[in-house]
Structure 1
Amino acid sequence: MSLWTETRGSGPDLVLLHGWGLSSNIWGDFADRLAERYRVTLIDLPGLGRSAPAGDMSLDAVVASLLATAPESAHWLGWSLGGQLALAVAEQAPERVKSLSLIAANPCFVARDDCSCAMAPEVFGAFVESLADNETKTLQRFAALQTRGSVRARDALKHLKAVMANAEPQALAPALRLLESDLRPALSGLSCPAQLILGSEDQLVPQALAEAAKVLNNTLNVQLLEHSAHLPFISHADAVLASIQRQMDGIDAAR
């Protein structure tokens, strides 16, 4: 599958992966700020934004397409679904990943018997059914859910709705199924420096994940931002940017 990509700035390579139902436009000014110090590669996931829908939307196929598109060696930043995909990339091609920054991402988004820090299966199932019944209404509810409790809820919601308007209908359901992947083994086996940035008010990724993730990988740097919902890079852009720069600059300086 061929993915749309755009490169900005110069410096160490940094790949940005967006979340479900959106495109790389969601990064907005945050990507521009990163491009002041790094060579940023923006990628639209299959069927979302400017990337064409793919016949095979399995996790392995999507990861293969990301690796075919991304720089040979880079830092990876993934938000929400993009965080899960970045984890899968690091698991399958660890030599390609210098570091991981995961924002509002859950390695196991849908709860299982041994994973309670996640969305209940029945809630996820209802969301899948709702998407099939009324796509527009479902996306609007999803946008409101992502911003609830944020100190910048109004700005974030406006930005989300503008980006969601470009979603490709036939790609939404297959992309949603990617969230059912269990990437906990990938998180446990990481061989690169990694950080997880969560929001205390996130309605999709519970703050209890902060402790659970450390159990999976005690080298993981976990931050919980107060008064932030599912989009910390909008509500707490300065803090998130500083964390990313601190991790990347420390690694690149040591090389």
Structure 2
Amino acid sequence: MLYSRTTGTGKDLVLLHGWGFNSDLFNDLIARYQNQYQITVIDLPGHGRSSVVDGDLDKWCDEIIKLLPDNPILLGWSLGGLLAINIANKVNVSQLILLASSPNFVTTVGWHYGIDAKNFHQFSDTLSLNLSKGLKRFVSLQSQNKTQLKSLNQSIDTLPATTIALNQGLKILLQRDLRQQFEQLDIPIQVVLGKQDTLIPIEIAKWYKQKNTSVTILNTGHLPFLHPDFELRII
């Protein structure tokens, strides 16, 4: 069973977090926008307070879909963005917002906007040696706000992801290519990228713009929604 909670008033907005974290990552974002939107957050399978879900990307998305309100704005960060693309091909979504995300995270023949698979494995292996310590170091490189970091670190310590879910998530990130599904979407899409992101090359902005997708670039890393200049823009 997946954990979710809903707060606020307004148009439905659903937030999907990324690998290794949980929905508490969005607490500051919720506090900022809960008077404008009815916000639902969901812990991904095996992350935070959610149970493990056997299976791959589609199984994860099918469970998430059960918790979605009708025709929501769907926001996905990192791995959550990959899930959001897949979900938007399965059910009605009014708008898609991708934060530091890509339809294909790994470099392949003809696709130069990802990270080398070997480097990706090294990154994940380093984190997995001590997940709590690795994630804390990761977020410390993304924000200088001590209050924000304290809250994030507490969430990382108290709600760790399961090993099974971490392995499932890595498999999704390394193996799934959703470029075709992305190109099939006929809804407003906006993308927010970090100029200093080491996981999503900023060059992918060219590809998104070729697909007539709105792109915003912030002077930040892989957590652009923590940047003070980040703003939700609902089309």
TM-score normalised to structure 1 length = 0.83
* Cα distance change of structure 1 residues 160 and 109 upon mapping to structure 2, 3 Å threshold: farther
Residue in structure 2 matched with residue 152 of structure 1 by the alignment: 144
Identity %: 33
Specify the SS of the correspondent of 1:224. strand
Residue 72 of structure 1 and its aligned partner are, at CA, apart by 2.1
Residue in structure 1 matched with residue 100 of structure 2 by the alignment: 104
C-alpha distance in structure 2 between counterparts of 1:140 and 1:240, whole Å:
26
**What is the aligned-residue RMSD (CA, Å)?**
2.0
Is the Cα contact below 8 Å between 1:63 and 1:85 reproduced in 2? yes
* Cα distance change of structure 1 residues 130 and 199 upon mapping to structure 2, 3 Å threshold: closer
Quick check: which one's helix share is greater? 1
Task: List alignment gaps of at least 5 residues for structure 1.
Answer: 251-255
Task: List alignment gaps of at least 5 residues for structure 2.
Answer: none
The answer as to 2:174 corresponding to 1:175 is: no
C-alpha distance in structure 2 between counterparts of 1:4 and 1:157, whole Å:
23
Is the Cα contact below 8 Å between 2:127 and 2:134 reproduced in 1? no
Equivalent residues in 2 for 1:70-219 (5 A)?
70-93=68-91, 96-130=92-126, 134=129, 136=130, 138-145=131-138, 148=141, 150=142, 152=144, 157-165=149-157, 166-170=159-163, 171-180=165-174, 181-215=176-210, 217-218=211-212
Residue 82 of structure 1 and its aligned partner are, at CA, apart by 0.8
* Aligned residues between the structures: 232
Residue 42 of structure 1 and its aligned partner are, at CA, apart by 0.7
TM-score normalised to structure 2 length = 0.90
Residue in structure 2 matched with residue 223 of structure 1 by the alignment: 216
Amino acid at match of 1:225: L
Is the Cα contact below 8 Å between 1:146 and 1:229 reproduced in 2? no
Is the Cα contact below 8 Å between 1:46 and 1:54 reproduced in 2? yes
* Cα distance change of structure 1 residues 202 and 129 upon mapping to structure 2, 3 Å threshold: closer
